[in-house]
Amino acid sequence: MSKRFTDTYLLSLMAQASAAISAEFHDWLASEGVSVADWRILASLYPDIGLTIGELCASCLTKQPTMTRMVDRLVAQELAIRSADRTDRRRVEVRLTPYGQGRAERLINEAKAHEARLLAGYKPEDAAALKALLRIIKDRAAMPSVSAS
Amino acid sequence: MSKRFTDTYLLSLMAQASAAISAEFHDWLASEGVSVADWRILASLYPDIGLTIGELCASCLTKQPTMTRMVDRLVAQELAIRSADRTDRRRVEVRLTPYGQGRAERLINEAKAHEARLLAGYKPEDAAALKALLRIIKDRAAMPSVSAS
DNA sequence: AATCATATAATGCAATTTCATATTTATGAG
DNA sequence: CTCATAAATATGAAATTGCATTATATGATT
Three-class SS state of B55: helix
Q: Which residues of B16-38 are buried (b: 16+ CB within 10 A; e: fewer)?
A: bbbbbbbeebeeebeeeebeebb
Find residues whose C-beta atom lies within 7 angstroms of strand C.
Answer: A 30, 52-54, 64-65, 68-69, 71-72, 82, 88, 90-92; B 35, 37, 62-63, 65-66, 69-70, 73, 87-90
On the question of pLDDT at A28 being above 70, the answer is yes
Contact A145 B132 (CB under 8 A): no
A114 touches strand D (CB under 7 A): no
Q: Are B46 and B105 in contact (CB under 8 A)?
A: yes
Q: Does A37 touch chain B (CB under 8 A)?
A: no
Predicted model pTM: 0.90
Q: What does the pLDDT look like over B14-62, one tens digit per residue?
A: 999 999 999 999 999 999 999 999 999 999 999 999 999 999 999 999 9
Question: pLDDT band at B3, cuts 50/70/90?
Answer: confident
| Amino acid (one-letter) located at A55 | E
